[in-house]
Amino acid sequence: MTGKVLNNRYELVEKIGSGGMADVYKARCRVLKRWVAVKILKDEFVNDEEFLERFEREAYAAASLNHPNIVSIYDVGKEGNIHYIVMEYIDGITLKEYIRQNGALPWQEAADIAIAILSALHKAHRQGIIHRDIKPQNILMTSDHVPKVTDFGIARAVTTSTVTRKVDTVGSVHYSSPEQARGGYTDEKSDIYSVGVTLFEMLTGRVPFDADNPVSVALKHIEEKPARPSSIVPDIPEAMDEIVLRAMGKSRSERYDNALQMIADLDHVKKGEALERNGGETDLFATRVIGSLEEESLAAKKDRGRNRKKGKAGKTSKKGFLIASVYILLIGIIVGGIWLVYDKVVKDVVGAILAPKKQPVEVINYIGMHIEDAIADLEAKNLPYAEPVYEYSDTVPKGVVMDQRPPAGISIMPGDDAITKVELIVSNGPEMVTIPTDIKFADYVEAEIKLKNELKLQTKVVDEYSDEVAEGRVIRTEPEMALLLRQEARLLYTEALARNLRTLLYPM
Which of the listed ranges 153-167, 217-231, 481-495 does the model predict with the highest average pLDDT? 217-231
CA dist 242 and 101 (Å) reads 27
- pLDDT computed for residue 371 by the predictor: 93
Residue pLDDT, tens place only, 325-375: 777 888 878 887 787 776 666 666 555 555 556 688 888 999 999 999 999
Sorting pLDDT into bands at 50, 70 and 90, what band is 481?
A: low
- pLDDT computed for residue 358 by the predictor: 67
Sorting pLDDT into bands at 50, 70 and 90, what band is 186?
A: confident
Structural element, H or E, at residue 233: none
By mean pLDDT, which of 221-230, 255-264, 440-449 is the weakest?
Answer: 440-449
In the set 133, 151, 191, 241, the catalytic residue is 133
Residue pLDDT, tens place only, 381-423: 999 998 999 888 888 899 999 999 888 888 888 887 777 889 9
Q: Is the pLDDT of residue 231 over 90?
A: yes
- pLDDT computed for residue 507 by the predictor: 33
By mean pLDDT, which of 14-18, 303-307, 376-380, 498-502 is the weakest?
Answer: 498-502
Residue pLDDT, tens place only, 87-136: 999 989 999 999 999 999 999 999 999 999 999 999 999 888 888 889 99
For residues 189, 191, 192 and 193, what is the CA-based torsion angle, rounded to 10 degrees?
90
Q: Quote the mean pLDDT of the chain.
A: 79
Q: Is the pLDDT of residue 279 over 90?
A: no
- pLDDT computed for residue 301 by the predictor: 45
Written as one string, the DSSP assignment of 386-441 is PPPEEE--SSS-TTBEEEEESPTT-EE--STT-S--BEEEEE----EEE--GGGTT
- pLDDT computed for residue 219 by the predictor: 92
By mean pLDDT, which of 231-240, 295-304, 336-345, 415-424 is the weakest?
Answer: 295-304
Sorting pLDDT into bands at 50, 70 and 90, what band is 491?
A: very low
Active site residue 133: yes
- pLDDT computed for residue 80 by the predictor: 87
Q: What phi and psi, each to the nearest 5 degrees, are found at residue 319?
A: -65, -40
What is the share, in percent, of the chain residues with pLDDT greater than 90? 37
- pLDDT computed for residue 479 by the predictor: 72
- pLDDT computed for residue 18 by the predictor: 83
Written as one string, the DSSP assignment of 34-51 is EEEEEEEE-HHHHT-HHH
Q: Is the pLDDT of residue 163 over 60?
A: no
With H, G, I as helix, E, B as strand and everything else as coil, classify residue 318: helix
Q: Is the pLDDT of residue 8 over 60?
A: yes
Residue pLDDT, tens place only, 30-43: 998 999 999 998 88
Domains of the chain as residue ranges with CATH: 5-88 (3.30.200.20), 93-270 (1.10.510.10), 361-427 (3.30.10.20), 432-505 (3.30.10.20)
- pLDDT computed for residue 347 by the predictor: 62
